[in-house]
Amino acid sequence: MIVGIGIDVVNIHRFAGQLERAPRLAERLFTPRESAGLSTVSLAARFAAKEALAKALGAPGNLRWHDAEVVGGRGTPPTLRLTGTCAERAAALGALRWHLSLTHDEPVAQAIVILES
């Protein structure tokens, strides 16, 4: 049964501007493993994934950015690794599985997250 759905769209150019204005923003949003060597377009899609996950989890205010990590890509399907606050909220909702779809086509990156019990 579906227990949560979230979708998010990120303007790639706006996101790139935010990263330029605040160089440490990427460190606050992404784990080192998650952001290593990725383009701004890929980072925008990963940010959309984290926002979509927050919506699927009901958008509680206590989620930490590093507690949701987008893994995979470059030839393997992307998925989410949940720890800490995100894992706790998913467990409280009864979510046992989650699905992630990412896409990007200038000027937007988009992500959809579905949580299943």
What pLDDT does 25 receive? 95
The pLDDT, as a whole number, for residue 60 is 83
Within 8 A by CB and 6+ apart from 14, the residues are none
Mean pLDDT on 36-63 = 94
Query: Would the pTM of this model clear 0.75, i.e. be above it?
Result: yes
Q: What CATH number did the domain enclosing 105 receive?
A: 3.90.470.20
Range of the domain at 61: 2-116
pLDDT at 63: 93
* pLDDT above 90: residue 108: yes
Average of per-residue pLDDT values in the chain:
95
What residues are paired with 115 via a beta bridge?
4, 98
**Dihedral-angle region of residue 69 (phi above 0 means left; psi in -120 to 50 means alpha; beta otherwise):** beta
Burial class (CB in 10 A: 0-12, 13-18, 19+), 40: middle
Binning pLDDT at 50, 70 and 90, where does residue 3 land? very high
The pLDDT score that the predictor gives to residue 35 is 86
Please tell me the distance from the alpha carbon of residue 78 to that of residue 60, in angstroms, as a whole number: 24
Number of structural domains the chain divides into:
1
Q: What is the pLDDT of residue 20?
A: 96
Helix (H) or strand (E) holding 41: helix 40-56
Place of tokens 């949003």: 29
**pLDDT, tens digit, 9 for 90 and up, residues 60-103:** 888 999 999 999 877 889 999 999 999 999 999 999 999 999 99
